[in-house]
Amino acid sequence: MQNDVGPELDPLEEAHSRPFEPGRYGYYQYCDAPPAFCGSGMGAFVWFDTADEMVGFLLCVDAASCMAPREGGPEVVAALAAARPGLPSGDAAMPVAQKLYNDGLAGHYKVEWIGKAADLISGDSEYAQALRSEFRSACCDDNEEDDEDADGSPLADDEIEGFAEFLTEYGY
């Protein structure tokens, strides 16, 4: 796809280059392959403007890039792409898409979190709280005596920029 500043990017590069913004939707995916495989355990967040765009990308583009070269991959890719039109629209599709993806790519890749970026800033899910706590431990814990800053409470406005930077490197 052509962007405003340079040459065309493939859909994966484009998706992975989008920054974290509170109004976006995203998912965190990591390599779920056994430890002997290169990249095992590595992951990344990917961001989109709408839930529908994200779900379509996850089931059709991401799954194809991960599974097409693997034995049985074409069948998995075809099944996920065929399931996309039957899913609900908007936010309701997210958990269904996550389950389809995780079931289809089990042992290869896994979506650990899917949702609204704003939920990572202030949501009460266990994942969001643990991620905020990890961010605070990594970025803000200069004084070991003051571990209260490493809690999972919602982010303050002045923490969001640092959190966004933390997410760009998370999983690598």
For the chain, the structural domain boundaries read: 11-169
Which token pair is 64?
A: 């194809």
Strand partners of residue 113: 28
Given a cut of 50, whether residue 145 has pLDDT beyond it is no
pLDDT digits (tens, 9 = 90+) for 23-44: 999 999 998 877 655 556 789 9
pTM, two decimals, is 0.86
Tell me the average pLDDT across 129-142: 88
Distance CA(127)–CA(98), nearest Å, equals 15
Tell me the average pLDDT across 140-153: 64
Distance CA(66)–CA(40), nearest Å, equals 13
Tell me the average pLDDT across 165-169: 95
Of 11-20, 51-60, 65-74, minimum mean pLDDT range = 65-74
Distance CA(150)–CA(128), nearest Å, equals 13
44-79 in b/e form (b: 16+ CB < 10 A) is bbbbbeebbebbbbbbbbbbbebbeeeeebeebbee
Identify the pLDDT of residue 11. Answer: 86
Identify the pLDDT of residue 49. Answer: 96
> How far, in Å, are 4, 7, 76, 79, 97 from residue 19 at the CA level?
16, 19, 29, 30, 22
Give percent of the chain with pLDDT exceeding 70: 85
The backbone torsions φ and ψ at residue 4, rounded to the nearest 5 degrees and listed phi first, read -80, -10
Given a cut of 70, whether residue 97 has pLDDT beyond it is yes
